[in-house]
Amino acid sequence: MSQADFAYVPANDAAGAVLAVSIFADRAWLREELQGDILTAGLSLRECAGLGALLDGDARPLGEVVLIDCPVLDAAGLAALARLDVRAKRSGARLVISTSVAGLEDVFGCCDQSRPRILVDPTRAERVIALGRVLAELPALRVRELAEDDRLTLLRLTEQVSRIAERLERFDSDPLAESGAFRFESPSRAFKAADAQDRLVRTPRPPLPEPRLVRRIIRQRHLRARFFDAELFADPAWDILLDLTAARAEHTRVSVTSVCIASGVPPTTALRWISQMTAAGLLERVEDESDRRRAFIALSDQAAEGMARYFAEVGQAAAQLV
């Protein structure tokens, strides 16, 4: 794809300083592709190098956005990624990390500070969409440092990346299920009312449902995919809550890969749901005390109470829920 396919608006010096991008990837063709998309979007390129550059130390300057491709990392690479995660948290840099299903647990486990965007085996369009979302977040962090002209440049760059993503979707041979803007609603006021004055008058929390019942509901929901397109019934938030409710009742821990599978949507989409549900107070990240490189996902106490009260409310009809 040539750069002529898209309008090109070069960043001015101030915006370039704020919107510099660093790329670290071992695959040469991917570095070239990412570099082309960055320059086409009007962003400036701080560095484009292999993953080995991350091992050189923490002194190298980084861009405001750091794109990393690491399908699999060895112990030294994971340690370097963990240091970069801490550094990004301190500096405010945004990390976009692409990995494979095999590498997801390690990447998720060692990146617990900067809340990076993690993509699993992404298409080119998915990478550009992730970049667009990061750009949309940057003004909230940097807007006070920018002059009015630079703020307008930020807005133009964000819109430009969105147009690139839309064009890439049409060129991509695979359908992109998550082309629309991702949106997650926070829990309703009724759900949030578990504290304050309501806490004194509410009845004690009922026990969690029998895990066998929840597992049966999950199996019934999955059965639909044998007869219809699974995307017709995609409801990742509810599927995640069901799976983690059963796990909590069973006193078992659930890995991020397992949660992605339970969600019924592609891993990259599932990771965004996990991130949004964690921010909303429904899920919690639980570190593995025996292995600091590993982390699990669990229901928050608030979500557990909501699920317990929901199943208590539906009572015997729960067995027929799909």
13 CB-contact burial (10 Å; exposed 0-12 / middle 13-18 / buried 19+)? exposed
Contact 217, 320 (CB under 8 A): no
* Alpha-carbon dihedral sign for residues 313, 314, 315, 321: negative
Q: pLDDT tens digits for 45-56?
A: 999 999 988 887
Intervals of CATH 3.40.50.2300 along the chain = 3-171
Q: From CA 200, how far away is CA 173, in angstroms rounded? A: 57
pLDDT tier, 57 (very low <50, low <70, confident <90, very high otherwise): low
Percentage of residues in the chain having pLDDT higher than 90 = 43
The secondary element (H helix, E strand) that includes residue 34 is helix 28-40
Least confident of 122-131, 159-168, 205-214, 309-318: 159-168
Token pair of 99 as six digits: 């990995």
Please count the other Cβ atoms lying within 10 Å of the Cβ belonging to residue 200: 7
Per-residue confidence band for 188, with pLDDT thresholds at 50, 70 and 90 = low
- Please determine, for residue 143, whether its predicted confidence score (pLDDT) is greater than 80: no
Quote the pLDDT of residue 153: 54
Enter the DSSP assignment of 114: S
- 16 versus 272: the higher-pLDDT residue is 272
Four-way CATH pick for 189-320: 1.10.10.60, 1.10.1240.10, 3.40.50.620, 1.10.10.10: 1.10.10.10
Would you state the structure tokens that stand for residue 154, as one six-digit string? 């930020």
> Cα dihedral sign for 151, 9, 41, 164?
positive
Bridge partner list, 153: none
The least confident of 17-26, 30-39, 83-92, 168-177 is 168-177
pLDDT grade for 162, boundaries at 50, 70 and 90: low
60-119 tens-digit pLDDT: 788 889 999 999 989 999 999 999 999 999 988 999 999 999 999 999 999 989 999 999
Asked whether the whole model's pTM tops 0.85, one would answer no
Cα separation values, 6 from 31, 153, 159, 173, 179, Å: 20, 17, 12, 19, 18
Report pLDDT for 78: 92
> What is the SS3 string spanning 135-195?
HHHHHHHHHHHCCHHHHHHHHHHHHHHHHHHHHHHHHCCCCCCCCCCCCCCCCCHHHHCCC
Strands 283-287 and 254-255: unpaired
When the pLDDT of each residue in the chain is averaged and rounded to a whole number, the result is: 79
Distances (CA, A) of 16 to 10, 12, 42, 123: 9, 6, 9, 26
- Say if residue 3's pLDDT is above 70: no
Q: Which of 2.40.30.10, 1.10.940.10, 3.40.50.2300, 1.20.1250.20 would CATH assign to domain 3-171? A: 3.40.50.2300
Cβ atoms of 304 and 249 closer than 8 Å: no
- pLDDT computed for residue 54 by the predictor: 85
pLDDT for 179 equals: 38
**Residue type, position 220, single letter:** Q
DSSP helix, strand, coil percent of the chain (3-state; round to 5): 55, 10, 30
What single-letter amino acid sits at 218?
I
Q: Where in the chain is the domain with CATH 1.10.10.10?
A: 189-320
Summarize the confidence of residues 191-217 as an average pLDDT.
70
Cβ(277)–Cβ(283) below 8 Å: yes
